């Protein structure tokens, strides 16, 4: 895990980032979720930011879905970046597949292929960008729930 400045004197809005590369093995999905859990722990302990239970679960599920899709549809490795930015967690997954994903309309009776529906439902924003060697998928999740969670309330 890398970060912008060191120690407990870090400003609340200083960058905090974690990154990892995965080879496509199914164990990588669990490792990516663990990286997300560890990162959220750093957000709490280093930044003193409140992370709601909903946000914690949402971040882990979004990471899991995006990494799973990269493993399923792209040959080669994928890269995961998780970053604290302005009260949000930005999750970026880069993979080698040049094709952009097709986000299907909700179909409650459909078995499978609901991953991007889940990501979109849990994320404040969701974007996919083609890159020279594949694509970059970015989702953001708000740290705390509701309007009562002000900046002053973010400390735990």
2 lies in a domain? Answer: no
**Residue 55 falls inside a structural domain:** yes
Q: What pLDDT does 6 receive? A: 41
**Cα–Cα distance measured from residue 98 to residue 128, given in angstroms and rounded to the nearest whole number:** 11
| Average confidence score pLDDT of the chain | 83
Q: Give residue-wise pLDDT tens across range 16-65.
A: 999 999 998 888 999 999 999 999 999 998 888 899 999 999 999 999 99
pLDDT at 14: 56
Number of domains in the chain: 1
Beta strands (DSSP E) in the chain are 2-3, 16-22, 78-85, 88-95, 125-131, 134-142
In a domain, 3, yes or no: no
The lowest-confidence range among 11-20, 58-67, 116-125, 145-154 is: 145-154
101 in a structural domain: yes
Question: 149 lies in a domain?
Answer: yes
Range of lowest pLDDT (44-48, 70-74, 106-110, 134-138): 106-110
Residues spanned by the domain of 109? 25-154
Residue 13 lies in a domain: no
Report the predicted TM-score, pTM, of the whole model to 2 decimal places. Answer: 0.81
Lookup: tokens for 116: 């991007």
Give the pair of three-digit tokens for residue 120.
């979109």
User: The domain spanning residue 125 has which CATH number?
Assistant: 3.30.565.10
In a domain, 127, yes or no: yes
Look at residue 117 and tell me if it is in a domain: yes
Letter string b/e over residues 28-66, b meaning 16 or more CB atoms within 10 A of that residue's CB: bbeebbebbeebbebbbebbebbbeeebbebbbbbbbbb
């Amino acid at each position: 895990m890398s970060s912008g400045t060191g120690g407990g004197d870090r400003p609340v809005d200083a960058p905090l980032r974690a990154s990892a590369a995965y080879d496509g093995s199914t164990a990588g999905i669990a490792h990516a979720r663990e990286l997300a859990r560890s990162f959220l722990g750093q957000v709490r302990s280093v930044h003193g930011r409140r992370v709601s239970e909903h946000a914690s679960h949402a971040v882990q599920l979004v990471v899991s879905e995006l990494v799973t899709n990269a493993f399923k549809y792209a040959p080669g490795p994928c890269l995961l970046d998780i970053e604290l930015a302005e009260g949000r967690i930005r999750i970026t997954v880069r993979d080698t597949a040049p094709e952009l994903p097709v986000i299907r309309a909700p179909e409650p009776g459909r078995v499978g292929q609901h991953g991007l529906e889940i990501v979109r439902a849990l994320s404040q924003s969701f974007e996919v960008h083609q890159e020279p060697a594949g694509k970059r998928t970015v989702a953001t999740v708000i740290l705390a729930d509701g309007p009562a969670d002000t900046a002053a309330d973010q400390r735990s």
